[in-house]
């Protein structure tokens, strides 16, 4: 794991920690959120906030596990924190955080257009590879090869429909 990715993960934890307490709806936007879920296992946050979070999670119909703790340990909340989940797409959150970091640093603009090309280089051996729409959760972007999409559009596809193609394009743009 590269230092940049590790820092991105740590930054993701810090951002989620602060953002959750200040504006809990951003956390729910960023996480794929369980139907019929029981009450939170651990809580030291305002019970009204905990109730609103649980209600939104239950209405979503998604499988969710959340473990939150501020760095000082004063605020704690968990919900299905001990459950097992497939973690493959969770790496998209640190990718998004790095994207917004580079936007803030004015290295990238969200409305910047990117040429859609389905050719990537492996970080393992540098070999070229392409993605197959049959193996992706979103197939429309594959029809846009040769066209342009904004970084914002690709980020939205990466997060909202877990597009692997959009993710690879964003990662490539970030230089990660």
User: Is the confidence at residue 140, as pLDDT, over 60?
Assistant: yes
Return the pLDDT at 42.
Answer: 63
Which of 25-34, 55-64, 65-74, 104-113 has the lowest average pLDDT? 25-34
**pLDDT-based confidence at 2, cuts 50/70/90?**
very low
User: Is the confidence at residue 112, as pLDDT, over 90?
Assistant: yes
Which of 29-43, 99-113, 139-153, 159-173 has the lowest average pLDDT? 29-43
Return the pLDDT at 70.
Answer: 87
Does the reported pTM lie above 0.85?
no
Contacts (Cβ under 8 Å, ≥6 apart) of 42: 76, 77, 78, 81
Structure tokens at 120: 């990537």
Cα–Cα dist 52/105, whole Å: 34
Q: Highest-confidence range of 80-84, 154-158, 172-176, by mean pLDDT?
A: 154-158
User: Is the confidence at residue 5, as pLDDT, over 70?
Assistant: no
């Amino acid at each position: 794991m590269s230092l940049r990715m590790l820092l991105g993960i740590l930054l993701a934890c810090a951002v989620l920690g602060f953002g959750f307490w200040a504006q809990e709806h951003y956390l729910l936007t960023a996480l794929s959120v369980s139907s019929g879920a029981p009450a939170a296992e651990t809580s030291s946050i305002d019970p009204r906030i905990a109730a609103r979070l649980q209600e939104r999670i239950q209405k979503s119909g998604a499988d969710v596990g959340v473990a939150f703790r501020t760095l000082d340990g004063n605020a704690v909340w968990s919900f299905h924190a001990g459950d097992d989940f497939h973690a493959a797409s969770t790496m998209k959150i640190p990718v998004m955080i790095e994207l917004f970091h580079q936007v803030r640093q004015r290295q990238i603009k969200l409305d910047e257009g990117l040429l859609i090309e389905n050719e990537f280089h492996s970080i393992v051996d540098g070999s070229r590879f392409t993605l197959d729409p049959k193996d992706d959760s979103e197939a429309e972007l594959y029809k846009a090869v040769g066209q342009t999409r904004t970084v914002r559009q690709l980020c939205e596809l990466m997060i909202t429909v877990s597009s692997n193609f959009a993710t690879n394009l964003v990662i490539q743009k970030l230089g990660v």
